[in-house]
Amino acid sequence: MSQNDTNPFSTIAHLESINQCIQCGTCSGSCPLADLMDHAPRELFALIREGAYEEVLHSNTPWFCVSCYACMVRCPREIPVTDLMYALKEVITKQGTAPQNLKMPDMYQAFSRNIKDTGKVTESLVMARYGMKHPMDALKNIPLAIKMQMRGRLELKAQKVADPKSIARLFELTETSKDKP
22 Cβ contact partners less than 8 Å away, ≥ 6 residues apart? 76, 77
131 inside domain? yes
Tens digits of residue pLDDT in 11-56: 898 899 999 999 999 999 999 999 999 999 999 999 999 999 999 9
Same structural domain for residues 165 and 138? yes
153 inside domain? yes
Q: What's the whole-number mean pLDDT along residues 90-96?
A: 91
Same structural domain for residues 29 and 92? yes
What is the tally of structural domains in the chain?
2
pLDDT at residue number 156:
84
Last residue of a domain, one of 77, 100, 123: 100
Average pLDDT, the chain: 89
Q: What's the whole-number mean pLDDT along residues 67-84?
A: 95
Same structural domain for residues 27 and 77? yes
pLDDT at 170 over 90: no
9 inside domain? no
pLDDT at 173 over 90: no
pLDDT at 6 over 90: no
Name the DSSP class of 157.
S
1 inside domain? no
112 inside domain? yes
pLDDT at residue number 13:
85
Task: Point out the least confidently predicted range of 77-81, 138-142, 157-161.
Answer: 157-161
| Banded pLDDT at 175 (limits 50, 70, 90) | low
pLDDT at residue number 5:
58
61 with 40: CB under 8 angstroms?
A: yes
Please give the torsion angle defined by the CA atoms of residues 18, 20, 26 and 30, in that order, rounded to the nearest 10 degrees: -40
Last residue of a domain, one of 76, 100, 124: 100
pLDDT at residue number 30:
96
Length of the chain: 181
pLDDT at residue number 176:
57
5 inside domain? no
Could you tell me the CA-to-CA distances from 106 to 8, 100, 132, 162 in Å, in that order?
21, 10, 10, 27
* Structural domain boundaries, residue 73: 15-100
Q: What is the CATH number of the domain that holds 44?
A: 1.10.1060.10
Q: With pLDDT > 90 as the criterion, what percentage of the chain qualifies?
A: 58
Same structural domain for residues 117 and 88? no
pLDDT at residue number 153:
86
